[in-house]
Structure 1
C-alpha cells in the first residue's frame, strides 16, 4: 500500500487545493485469513478496525501531507463472529482546514475469500475525480 500512496501523492501534486477527502475500506475476514484466528487480535480492544485501521489512516496522512486534528465517529457491531467493533463511520478535520469521511467495514464473507476494497477520493479545486480505487486480494 505504501508504494501506491507515494505514487498517488506524486500524481496529485498539481491538481489544485484540497477541498474534501473520502476514504472507504471494506475488508473481508474469514477463517482462512491468519489474522482471523490470532488470539491477541480477537481479544484486542477495538477489533480489526483499530488493528488495521491505523495503517489506512497513516496512508491518508502521508497522501494529504498533514495531520488529523479532530475526529467524530460512531461504531457498530453486526457480525458476531468478529471481535467488536466491525465497522466505523467517522468525520475528520485536517490541520489545513479540509474535512473528510473515513468508513471502514470488516465482515465475515466466506464467498469473497479475503477480497477487499479500498477507495480514496480527493476533491480538489482543479479536479474532482477518484485518485485511486484498488480492488485486490489483500492480506488483511
Structure 2
C-alpha cells in the first residue's frame, strides 16, 4: 500500500493503538523490528498505521509464545525480503516445544528431589551440632 499522509501516525498514537509504551516502540525501532517511514516537519517519527500495528501484534504474540526479540527479528527479516516466514516460525515453535519438554523433565526431577527431602524431614531435627543451616537440605 502506498504511504499517504492519512495512514501515517506518530509514535504516541501508535502507543495508544497498540497498548505498548512509547519507550517500547522506540526500542523495537532501534532493534529494527519496526521502521518509521519518515519524520514530520516537527521531527516526529511517522509510522504506517496498519503495517506497523500488524508487526507489533506479531511481536507481542511471538513473545507470548516464548520467542526472543532476536528470534522475532530473524523472522521479520524474512518477511521484509517479501517471503512468507512460516517455515521459520514453525521451526522456532518446534524448538520451543522441545525446550518446554526439557524444562518439564527438569522440574519433575526437582519435584522428586524436594519430595524426597521432605519425606526424610520428619520429625524436625534439633539444632545441628555443626554449622549446617538446615539438616533437611544439608544432610550429614
Q: TM-score when scaled to structure 1?
A: 0.24
> Hey, which of these two has a bigger chunk of helix by percent?
2
> Hey, which of these two has a bigger chunk of strand by percent?
1
Q: TM-score when scaled to structure 2?
A: 0.24
